[in-house]
Chains A and B, each alone.
Chain A
Amino acid sequence: MRIINRRPGRLTALALGGAPFVALILTYAVASHYRRLENPSDKLLPSLESMGSAFWRMAFEPDRRSGELVLWADTYDSLWRLGVGIGVSTLFALVLGIAIGFIPHVRRSLAPFLATFSLIPPITILPILFIVFGLGEVSKIALIAIGTAPVMIRSTAQAVIDIPREMVIKAETLGASVWQMITRLVLPQVLPRLITAIRLGLVPAWIFLISAEAIASTSGLGYRIFLVRRYLAMDVILPYVAWIALLAFVIDRLLLVLSKRAFVWHHLEGDSL
């Protein structure tokens, strides 16, 4: 049988999916082993055990100075910033995206501006934000929102434009007002696409979060990584990176599950990643 027609079974799929992860960890373990043979106190590729114990220390042993469980405090602070930033973007995407996608006058007025604005590299705005809002939470959240909102607004607007014209006309012949069309036709059709936009927006959002925390912060996952970098503490940095990846993965999956639960009709056709 041709390879494009062969489908892996459950167990094979699991093994195939796990293989790259196992390969990465094995490669690391071997490389680390040989480096430490030459220099037992090597800092660049610490052993898996030392990373484990460092992670344990960060997660379950109170910090000597602050008395906090550092990992959880960092995670809470970072996720809070990420959540508020993405929340603000989502709100903008909904309101402006629907207005731009549905109302031609708004589209003519805002679409060119938005297209221009979204070309500004968000990191270049960060100094401005620090000057205007200070070094506190507001400027970090603003960076995430400014960095993700334009693309999310545009993809939401496109989702509105993609609604077949026939459906809008049908709604008109059923006596719907513009507001009713938004609540009963546009919003429900756009929400699953908005979730996709959030999932895609989270990728740059993490970058902006870590950047902002690295530059000016006293807490958060990005702050911690750049703090311990001074001591070449790879045994902390690597688990933190893995932890961030895990958080991002779990959030992404949760959003996908939410979309499949809440918008059954949207997932009736085709596969989704």
Chain B
Amino acid sequence: MTGAPLLSVQGLFKDYAGAPVLEHVSIEVDEGAFCTIVGASGCGKSTFLRILLSQERPSRGEILLNGAPLPDEPTPDRGIVFQRYSVFPHLTVSENLILAREFEEAPLTGRLYGPARARLRNEIEGLLERIGLSAAANRFPAQLSGGMQQRLAIAQALVKRPRVLLLDEPFGALDPGIRLDMHELLLGLWRERTMTVFMVTHDIREAFKLGTRLLVFDKVRHDPQEPSAYGATITYDLPTGEIAPEDLRKAEAIVNRVPPGTA
């Protein structure tokens, strides 16, 4: 790789009302990487993702995206797929997909009519086909299965062609069989487009399978008297291509560990 990294995080700290969640997080990520993020529950991996999205601000530290400081609020250069509530329930499948283009073309109303709308519907036909929802184009999200809803959410997040795609446990609520289909779809889309992916997951096998780089969040310091005294940081940063079996076991142990104070 040459040139500056796409994303650079230096000395990131995050605390909520004095309780640290993340500490000393520093990482550089090149364009085109697929970073999977794992860790025990409550270790701040979702917080890290929300900071990358600008949904939350770091308490300290610097984040550079493409050499410039991260914007203060969510912007179209970073797409997001949540586990739930990702798509708009009052819009049909195709309306969900053309929405971003409507925002572009109709600044005042955010809505297009007639031929302009038909043109946008034509534009997204390929995308609908790609996610296998052509037959469901006029249905509302509540009429779709969980897997179909998440396929729609991913496609919707890609309409603006973001350089960074953030996924917060996108397949957490899906059946194992459906998950496999979703993996295929996501990997395919990632290869087709130049984008950098950050995906939080509970499933370590999923993390190894999908990612080019595995980030494990964990606490390095523990105070048995006060479990919330220290925050978590990136304890493992592994390229997934050349992973040793003992690393896999260690990572698995961290992910499956019951956080202190909850048992």
Contacts and interface: CB of A to CB of B under 8 A. Distances in A.
Contact of A170 (B80, B102, B107, B143): B80
A94 interface: no
7 contacts: A166-B85, A167-B85, A173-B53, A173-B78, A174-B160, A184-B103, A265-B140
Interface in A213-268: 263-266, 268
B164 to A, nearest CB: 10
Chain B interface residue bracket vs A: 35 or more
Interface in A169-200: 169-177, 179-180, 183-185, 188-189
Nearest to A269: B142
Interface of B: 53, 55, 73-76, 78-80, 82, 84-91, 99-100, 102-104, 107-111, 140-143, 156-157, 159-160, 162
Interface of A: 164-167, 169-177, 179-180, 183-185, 188-189, 263-266, 268-269
Contacts of B79: 173
A174 B99 contact: yes
B107 A263 contact: no
A177 to B, nearest CB: 7
A265 B80 CA distance: 23
A174 B96 CA distance: 11
A8 B142 CA distance: 28
Given A166-B82, A166-B84, A169-B53, A175 B104 contact: yes
A174 B78 CA distance: 9
Which are the 9 A-B pairs with shortest beta-carbon distances? Answer: A180-B110, A164-B85, A166-B85, A174-B100, A172-B74, A268-B142, A175-B76, A184-B110, A265-B140
Nearest to B168: A166
A269 B140 CA distance: 12
Contacts of A179: 108, 110
B74 A173 contact: yes
B85 A265 contact: no
Contact of A173 (B91, B104, B140, B162): B162
A184 B103 CA distance: 9
A175 B100 contact: yes
A175 B85 contact: no
Contacts of A269: 142
Nearest to A176: B103
Given A180-B110, A184-B99, A268-B140, A170 B90 contact: no
Contacts of B162: 173
A205 B20 CA distance: 52
B142 A265 contact: yes
A245 B39 CA distance: 61
Given A173-B74, A175-B160, A189 B90 contact: yes
A173 B86 contact: no
Contacts of A164: 84-85
